[in-house]
Amino acid sequence: MQVQLAGEPARPDRVSEDFTAATPEALVLLDGSGSPEGLESGCGHGVAWYVRRLGVHLLTRMTDRADRSAAECLADAIAETAALHGGRCDLAHPNTPAAMVVAARLHGNSLEYLVLGDSLLVLQLVDGPPRVIGDNQRFPAGEELRREVLAAAPGSAERAALRMQYALAVRAARNTGHGPWIAAAAPKAAGYAESGFVRLSALSALAAFSDGAARYGGLFRLGSWGDALALLAASGPAELIARVRAVERSDGRCARWPRASAHDDASALYARF
């Protein structure tokens, strides 16, 4: 694989809670699950700390354990990262640091992939349209509340209160069987990832996007996923993120494109075969 990657925090004064890393054989992209200001987590380390360690453990597993499936590698990495927290962290807390995950690796004549959460993997096939994998942990019980958040005036006390209510609802339900599964402290969440194989002969390239970068073909609809792949091939991931940022700046009050935050951490990865 020939891999390019880029990332940018939501704000220059904050550390990104995304993480990307790659070797010629494997790649990972993690999108940390950020929280509204003031929401306790039971952990003193924070989301950025968590995604970096989980990402490194996962990449290591994906490169040196061909005998373990991608889901098993993720479960191992979650367990290994949980062990680093120490006794002062309450890993049973519903808001313990967590992340969405995209991972892929060469496996013989195939590519093995895994996606958990609302990050996206887009496969550019030799024949046919791109195949989009991910955004596979929806929370139907919270959709009405999420619509109320987006309908409230940006920056208002009402929106802040609704966003906190929604965050608490999601966190109470996730990894319980009654809501979304996410990579946090429970290794069993890895079993709910979408995973599989695709023959390398059928694949020409792939792209991975954190939620913030996925606004290109999702929320903002700046082009199709085929257009996104073409842009990545021609100009690289940094250009795609720059175009997302330009749209965000043009709609700083989130009026034209209602969204939880004007800017989000954005990471994108592009690999050719």
Using one digit for the tens of pLDDT, what is the confidence trace for 52-96?
A: 999 999 999 999 999 999 999 999 999 999 999 988 888 888 889
Look at residue 256 in the predicted model and tell me its pLDDT.
Answer: 92
* Helix H or strand E segment including 195: strand 194-199
pTM for this predicted structure: 0.93
Instruction: Report d(CA 119, CA 187) in Å as an integer.
Output: 19
Residue 243's CB: how many other CB atoms inside 10 A?
Answer: 18
* Element of type H or E holding 242: helix 237-250
Q: In what order do the strands lie in the sheet with 194-199?
A: 18-22, 26-32, 99-107, 110-116, 194-199
Three-state DSSP at 112 gives strand
How many contiguous H segments (helices) and E segments (strands) does the chain have?
A: 6, 10
pLDDT less than 50: residues of the chain: none
Q: What is the pLDDT of residue 251?
A: 94
Q: What backbone torsions phi and psi does residue 172 show, to the nearest 5 degrees?
A: -70, -25
- The per-residue pLDDT for 171 is 85
Going from the N-terminus, what domains does the chain have, and what CATH number goes with each? Answer: 2-138+175-270 (3.60.40.10)
